[in-house]
Amino acid sequence: MARKISNRRKIIMTVLAWSIGFLIFFPILWTIILSFKTEGDAIKTPLQVLSSHWTFESYALVQERSNYFRHFMNSVIISFGSVILALVIGIPSAWAMAFVPGKGTKNVLMWMLSTKMMPAVGVLIPIYLMFRDWGLLDTRTGLIIVLCLMNLPIVIWMLYTYFKEIPSEILEAARMDGAGLRSEILYVLTPMAVPGIASTLLLNVILSWNEAFWTLNLTAAKAAPLTAFIAAYSSPEGLFYAKLSAASTLAIAPILILGWFSQKQLVRGLTFGAVK
């Protein structure tokens, strides 16, 4: 029997949820507001900022100083390229761990997850030297490889969880019908796990899009994504709040739009297998 919830409790929970949501979103909202102000207005008190003149001046100056669309294309290619490469590696790996388990499967999964616990700066020097010697510094290919390796543990963990929810009897039936390993993964397993694969792709695209440490240390100009585009507006002379806010808004707008339109798919994938 379902537990009855009073209208008063519904109202309180709704107000609390909206309040927490607004509190989390407020820094982004304030950044967007500052992006439509001049440098002089951006450093005023909040009430003065809201009542000051709104202008696109900062956006014009940012575009004049930097090539936004070049950085944007670098971010798109690097983010989606690294995640697609991680999925190509992660789907067969997760399949093997989910349907051909061994005694060491859990240990391997824990070892992969433990690599995310190490500070990235701990391996910066060897990776930088390898990229320098192999000609991968300031290249999209180099960033795709390093971001793929960075997100691969998360990709495999998520896919492993989704694959474990698929009944093994379905795969056994496919084998009895003559499906080989390649056909089993491509035509049986992958279509059934589309929600999980989609949510894995979306989540890791967001992680790759927002990655700043590796993009700032392994790029200079040619392959610099939007994270480097934002960092260009922080200088020893100080922060240019309006221009920095405009650059930040331009950088986060695409991923906010993507997240907004794909939120149902993301939630569906993250809850895949939760209800039987």
* Per-residue pLDDT tens digits for 95-122: 888 887 677 788 888 888 888 888 888 8
pLDDT at 152: 92
Using DSSP, state whether 34 is helix, strand or coil.
helix
Calpha distance 232→247 (Å, rounded):
9
Residue 154 contacts residue 116 (beta carbons within 8 Å): yes
Domain over 67-232 is classified CATH 1.10.3720.10 = yes
Region of 150 (left: φ > 0; alpha: ψ -120 to 50; beta: rest) is alpha
How far, CA to CA in Å, does 171 sit from each of 95, 104, 189? 11, 23, 8
**Domain residue ranges in the chain:** 7-57, 67-232
pLDDT at 275: 45
Nearest-CA neighbor of 149 among 72, 104, 204?
204
Calpha distance 78→149 (Å, rounded):
13
pLDDT at 43: 85
Calpha distance 165→121 (Å, rounded):
36
* Rg of the chain, C-alpha, whole Å: 23
Task: Kindly state the helix (H) or strand (E) to which residue 239 belongs, with its residue range.
Answer: strand 238-239
How far, CA to CA in Å, does 132 sit from each of 71, 92, 124, 174? 22, 31, 12, 47
pLDDT at 255: 86
Q: From first to last of the 276 residues of the chain, give the pLDDT tens digit.
A: 455 667 888 889 999 999 998 999 999 999 999 999 988 888 888 888 888 889 998 898 888 888 888 999 999 999 999 999 999 999 888 888 888 767 778 888 888 888 888 888 888 999 999 999 999 999 999 999 999 999 999 999 888 888 888 877 787 788 787 777 778 777 888 788 887 888 888 889 989 999 989 998 998 888 889 988 888 777 655 667 888 899 899 999 888 888 787 777 666 656 654 444
pLDDT at 265: 66
pTM as predicted: 0.83
Calpha distance 113→49 (Å, rounded):
45
